Chains A and B, each alone.
Chain A
Amino acid sequence: MKKVCVLDYGIGNLKSLYNAFKILDTTPVLTSDHKKIKDSDFLILPGVGAFANAMEKLKKIHLDEAIYHFIDQGKPFMGICLGMQMLFEYSEEFGVTDGLGLIKGNVIKIPSKNKKIRLPNIGWNKIIKSNTELSNNSILRNIRSEDYVYFIHSYCCKPQTNENVIANTVYEGVKLCASVQKNNIVGLQFHPEKSGKVGFEILKNFIKN
């Protein structure tokens, strides 16, 4: 059975990801052990809460190095929610903090159009796929543009170019980056493990990669 490693660095609920990958007939492991990470077929970087806190926890046990190494081997890697934001160069949440720098761009507070908007954005929003070759062959390949997924965030990714963007979403009239893909690196701003059947399809696509 394929081994899916979910990085456990003391942040949030990891049970749901673990349970989802169990149902998908893989062997999930929640760990921060470098050897176990190396031995796995897939790597997931989950994350909720504050950017700086998460980066600090990650670096403290050198998981940043483990992530770079895993990606260099060409194996599939996925960042979820804050885990996607951490793929970018830096975040502006409570001062500037460096991210993993794997994708060009930064992380900013969700902008508002005219009026004051409620934050965090908590709830179900539609996936709007970028109609590109990358998107059509991505882990969102069989997901319809009208499908809903669950978001919970106050900050969002601002990629430098659109070339890695495979889907956007709209919250209160503002377009937000929902998903990026660059070679073997995938980022999802929403929570696939909290998005019912649609989320399962996406996770299924990921482990088929």
Chain B
Amino acid sequence: MKKNLRLISRIDVKNNFVIKGIQLEGLRKVGDPLLTAKKYYEEGIDEILFIDAVASLYERNNLFKIIENASKHIFVPLTIGGGIRTLDDIEHSLDSGADKIAINTQAIKNPDFITEASRVYGSQAIIGSIEAKKRGNSWEAYIDSGREETGIDAINWAKKLEFLGAGELLITSIDRDGTKKGYDIELIQLISNSVSIPVISSGGAGCPEDIISLSSETDTSGVAVGSILHYDDYSIRQIKAKMINNNFNVRK
């Protein structure tokens, strides 16, 4: 039986620009969020994540307008993340055209927020987002776009997020983000084995082979890519062809 796999574009946004850094730092402008998203939609991307890279830091979210415009042209699932703190923020996100809301910092600060949010809007709309960094033999969850450590074990936190009501997890390896060195397979393996909700893996994709290694060795449901599309290293068509050739069930 072929395993389902989604190819997801991750668009990190700062002040209305698509930005890309390395290990969530040294952010560089690489394009316009709406034009970038439209291009990926036309080329057949399965889903798009818009993440406000600095929202938690400044306690604001610039993405509502971007999502509102995106939803006029793009008809695949859209996720918003970064700086979502209240039920009003979620309501505003859904009204703007987002389907799913990724929550990291506020979940750590107030875990009940995940339960409340999934009760009101359904767990299918709530993605528990974890930014993890390796410390010795374990991984620690970070907040504020990888700037603040929390002392919380990322694997335990993943289980907790499922228990609290998240319908899906977005796991970002801070160590691998923007490095093009491949996903943190060990981290994804441990987390996907610990939960029974879908897991989206993010951070490190440098070539289609990285997606194949990750998806063969773990039970990831979706793979997020940033740099390799932003820098035109590979096209969506090329990446999907590789996935299909390796026997994954992928939307053509």
A residues near B (Cβ < 8 Å) are 12-13, 15-16, 19-20, 22, 48-50, 116-120, 122-126, 146, 148, 150, 152-154, 171-173, 191, 193-196, 199-200
Contacts and interface: CB of A to CB of B under 8 A. Distances in A.
A15 B65 CA distance: 13
Nearest to B4: A123
Contacts of A172: 1, 4
Interface stretch (B54-62, B67-75, B136-144): B67-75
A181 to B, nearest CB: 22
A125 B76 CA distance: 14
A124 B197 CA distance: 16
Nearest to B91: A10
A123 B197 contact: no
Given A49-B125, A152-B124, A196-B76, A15 B96 contact: yes
A153 B75 contact: no
Interface in B184-223: 196-198, 219, 221-222
Nearest to B5: A123
A22 B41 CA distance: 19
B81 interface: no
B252 interface: yes
Contacts of B75: 16, 19-20, 193-196, 199-200
20 contacts: A12-B94, A12-B99, A13-B98, A20-B75, A48-B121, A116-B196, A117-B196, A118-B196, A118-B219, A120-B123, A120-B124, A122-B124, A124-B4, A126-B249, A146-B252, A153-B124, A171-B4, A191-B77, A193-B75, A194-B77
A126 B250 CA distance: 10
B4 A13 contact: no
A48 B219 CA distance: 26
Interface in B161-180: 167-168
Interface residues of B, number: 35
Given A15-B68, A194-B77, A195-B75, A48 B124 contact: yes
B221 A150 contact: no
Nearest to A122: B198
Given A15-B95, A122-B198, 11 more contacts: A12-B99, A16-B71, A16-B97, A19-B75, A120-B124, A122-B168, A123-B198, A152-B124, A172-B1, A194-B76, A195-B75
Contacts of B124: 48-49, 120, 122, 152-154
Contacts of A20: 75
B6 interface: yes
A164 B251 CA distance: 26
Contacts of A193: 75
Contacts of A13: 71, 94-95, 97-99
Nearest to B68: A15
